[in-house]
A and B are shown apart, each in its own frame.
Chain A
Amino acid sequence: MMDKDKLRKADIFSGGIIMLFGLWIVSQALQMPMKDSYGGVQNVWYVSPALLPLFVGAMIALLGGMLIRTALKTVGLRGLKETLGWLTSSDLARYLVTPALFRFYAMIVLFFSFVFLQIPHIDFFLCAVLFLVVFITMFYFDDDTLLKKFLAIYLAGTFVLLGFFAFGGTASMETMLPYAGDWLTLIFIILYCLYAWASIRGIPALHKKYRTALILAVAAPFTIGPIFKYFLLVPMPKEGVVVALLDAIRYWDF
Chain B
Amino acid sequence: MMLFERIGTFFGLVFGLATDPLHLAILFGSVLLGIIFGAMPGLTSTLGVALLTALTYGMDTDLAMVCLLAIYVGGTYGGSYASILINIPGTAAAAATALDGYPLACKGEGGRAIGLTTTASTIGTIVSMLFVVSISPIISYFALQFTSFEFFLLAFFGILISGTLTSPDLVIKGWIAGFLGLFLACVGRDLLQFYPRFTFGFSELDSGVEVVPVLIGAFGIPQIIQVLKDRFQIGEAQKLQRIIPEIGTVVRNVPAIVRSALIGVGIGAVPGIGEDIAGWVSYGTAKNTSKHPETFGKGELKGVLASETANNACVGGAMIPLLNLGIPGSPPAAMLLGALMLHGVTPGPMITFEHPTFIMEVAAILLMASIAMFVTGLLLAKQVVKVLRIPTQIFMPIIGVLCIIGSYSLGLNIFNLYLMLPVGIICYFLTEMGYPIAPLVIGVILGPMADENLRRALMVSQGSFMPIFQRPVSLILFLIIVLTVVSQFDWYRKIKDRAMQKIRNRKDTCETILEENDSER
Contact = CB atoms under 8 A, between A and B. Distances in A.
A139 interface: yes
B206 interface: no
A32 B198 CA distance: 10
A19 to B, nearest CB: 10
B493 interface: no
A233 B58 CA distance: 9
Nearest to B189: A49
Interface in B351-409: 391, 393-394, 396-398, 400-402, 404-405, 408-409
Contacts of B246: none
Given A56-B186, A67-B173, A39 B393 contact: no
B224 A107 contact: yes
Nearest to A32: B195
A189 interface: no
B405 A47 contact: no
A242 B401 CA distance: 17
A1 B169 contact: yes
Interface residues of A, number: 67
Contacts of A251: none
Given A45-B463, A47-B192, A103-B229, A63 B176 contact: yes
Contact of A60 (B183, B434, B462): B183
B24 to A, nearest CB: 20
Contact of B433 (A11, A41, A59, A227): A11
A7 B193 contact: no
Contacts of B57: 232
Contact of A221 (B228, B401, B417, B455): B401
Interface string A44-72: 11110101110011011001101100100
B459 interface: yes
A16 interface: no
A93 B51 CA distance: 39
Interface in A227-254: 227-228, 232-235, 237
B472 interface: no
A120 interface: yes
Task: Give the interface size class of chain B.
Answer: 35 or more
A63 to B, nearest CB: 5
Interface in B502-521: none
A45 B465 CA distance: 13
Quick one: which of B176, B414, B463 has the most chain A CB within 10 A? B176
Contacts of B130: none
A104 B229 contact: yes
Contact of B225 (A38, A44, A107): A107
A56 B391 contact: no
Contacts of B197: 28, 32, 49, 53
Interface in B430-461: 431-434, 447, 450-451, 454-455, 458-459
A30 to B, nearest CB: 12
B186 A52 contact: yes
A186 interface: no
B405 A56 contact: no
Quick one: which of B57, B168, B182 has the most chain A CB within 10 A? B182
A49 B400 CA distance: 37
Interface in A118-134: 119-120, 124, 128, 131-132
Nearest to A212: B394
Contacts of A237: 408, 414, 417
A52 B447 CA distance: 9
A224 interface: yes
Nearest to B170: A70
B463 A44 contact: yes
Contact of A140 (B393, B401, B451): B393
A142 interface: yes
A240 to B, nearest CB: 15
Contacts of B398: 132, 216, 220, 224
A194 interface: no
Contacts of A216: 394, 398
A112 interface: yes
A53 B186 contact: yes
7 contacts: A63-B179, A103-B229, A136-B394, A140-B391, A220-B401, A224-B401, A233-B58
Interface of B: 55, 57-58, 168-170, 172-173, 175-176, 179-180, 182-183, 186, 190, 192-195, 197-198, 221, 224-225, 228-231, 391, 393-394, 396-398, 400-402, 404-405, 408-409, 412, 414, 417-418, 420-421, 425, 431-434, 447, 450-451, 454-455, 458-459, 462-463
- What 10 A-B pairs have minimum CB-CB distances, sorted nearest first? A46-B458, A135-B397, A49-B190, A139-B393, A49-B195, A140-B393, A234-B409, A46-B463, A52-B451, A56-B182
Interface of A: 1-2, 7, 10-11, 14, 18, 25, 28, 32-33, 38-39, 41, 43-47, 49, 51-53, 56-57, 59-60, 63-64, 66-67, 70, 100, 103-104, 107-108, 111-112, 114-116, 119-120, 124, 128, 131-132, 135-136, 139-140, 142, 212-213, 216, 220-221, 224-225, 227-228, 232-235, 237
Given A1-B434, A224-B398, 15 more contacts: A46-B459, A46-B463, A52-B186, A56-B182, A60-B176, A63-B179, A67-B170, A100-B229, A111-B421, A131-B400, A132-B398, A132-B401, A140-B394, A232-B409, A233-B58
